[in-house]
Structure 1
Amino acid sequence: MVDGESQTVPVIECLEVTKVYRSRTGRKVPVVALDNVSLRVGSGTIIGLIGPNGAGKTTVLSLVAGLIFPTQGSIRVCGHPARSLEARRSLGYVPESPAFLSCYTARAVLKHHAALHGLSRQAILAETDRLLAQLRLEEYADRAVGGFSLGMRQRLALAVALLDNPRLLLLDEPSNGLDPLGVIELRRILTEIRQSGATVIISSHRLGELERLTSDYVFLNQGRIVKFGGETPPGQTGRLHIEFLPDGPHFGEELPAPYRLLERSETRVIVAVDGLRDVPNVVSSLVKAGVLITAVALERQDVEQTFVRLYQERAS
């Protein structure tokens, strides 16, 4: 889960991280890709990075993977500095557009990367066979990668990232090029990875697919975290609308938390409560207070609706 209080060593810990890209085109204004971002991520969860183009999603993944340096702040992976050998051994990374030497076969690619992990010859063969089977690449194992479709390259890149069972898997648009069966297979594989106790971070524009996979969300905009989706459990994101008669207890112009006024007239009052975590207690407390409730409605909000609402609010 996204965690700010856990006493255990987090899988990812970013503390006040900023990344500024200096222009190489003669422009004097630098580009702030991330702005003072802090987060802690625990184990055994799948987290979605959500945001418009340029929000900083790929920058977050690249920093955690140790591919680039932060301008300021610190990043640790499984308790180790992000660019350390120990951190890199703990994670697997799939970029948005994976590339391999076109003359290599899928089997050769996996054996080469397994050797870089320092595995023994026997372990290299076993890992290669395991991952070819898991990603259903056995039929293409001895074909040159140059003839692979984008979807097949994505599957091979995922196989490489899964070598030696990493504790952390970073995926940038992993469903690119996958057909519907490939997307279903990816969902199955990632669910198995989460159940094994590993953590998966996914950046994707496919919000519907993210909702089926993830338990927590990090919403980014202009390099800043604007919302932790994990603050509300899956299936409980939304709003509770309560309509009642104005004859009962008088709320006054300013409603007490967590109520927010939507409408007030001589015949009815409608308030909203964000989140659906504690619906029975909210309604019960109003009834006990003598409020004459006439209607209760649940307005569920999926990830796509949350995305639209967040970024429309910030654009206005």
Structure 2
Amino acid sequence: MNPRQITVLGECVADAFPEPASASNELALRVLPGGGPANTAVSLARLGSPTRLLTRLSDDVFGRLFRAHLESSGVDLSDAVRAAEPSTLAVAELDATGQAAFSFHAQNTADWQWTADELERVDLSETACLHTGSLTLVREPGGAVVEEFLAAAAPRTTISIDPNVRPHLVHPDVYRARLARWCGLADVLRLSEDDLELLLPQASPERACDLWHAAGARLVVITRGADGALASLDGERLRVPAPATRVVDTVGAGDSFTAGLLHHLGARGLLGGRLTELRLDDVADACAFAARVAALTCSAAGPNPPWRDQLTQSAAVGTA
């Protein structure tokens, strides 16, 4: 039987959202478990994909929150590393449209301390797709170790990468310097239009897709918020509209889109290699499904992706 598991590698971040406090000299924070890769893993598991998260979990109060959240969503943590370092904290400020700007407290935290020994023990024989990205690929000392792990895995599993640029923590030049190497490893590259602007200022989405195809990525998807998504498969392009939704905030929407895309491809047996059987119609269907998953995520507070039955219910409502 073909491998069906999707393995996600990356960080867990405590997302803190300011709330009204009881006194003018106080600040109240509501903390939710987040982090781009962790959000993607949760979304995949809730959709029904067998999902494993390779992460370094602290035993502090946030680490215990992450573990409970991930396990209750069905994520396999059997290969998670118990880390001595503290968890990463991000404080979010939402604008009037629900877009979040994060400030990170990430110095010497657990997420970036990967060693070669920790990843050498990981068995990928049942993994159809290995997904990673975000700060895990650019924060040292672990970033170089993760790249080596991807390079070793690439000949036998589909590789998916989401750069998820965080310019206040890591300068975009660091991402730019590594992006061509990532495209050489990646079969799927999913990023937002904000990432595009930071990585290739002034470049059109179509021009960016052509550059990243030339560097090696077969499928490039650029998500554009309310304007939907642009997908490019070896230069063949299509646009997918975003479903109408009531936006509470957009936290985790891109991560959920990635999860919806990979779940849909995996459920149809299209993951597990270099995507040689993938066709543009497959991409259109997968992106339409992913857009629905992202829209439902936007309708809830924080990184709270939908469960599979919620997708079924929303589809029934849409056709009623």
Q: TM-score, normalised by structure 1?
A: 0.31
Q: Which has the larger radius of gyration?
A: 1
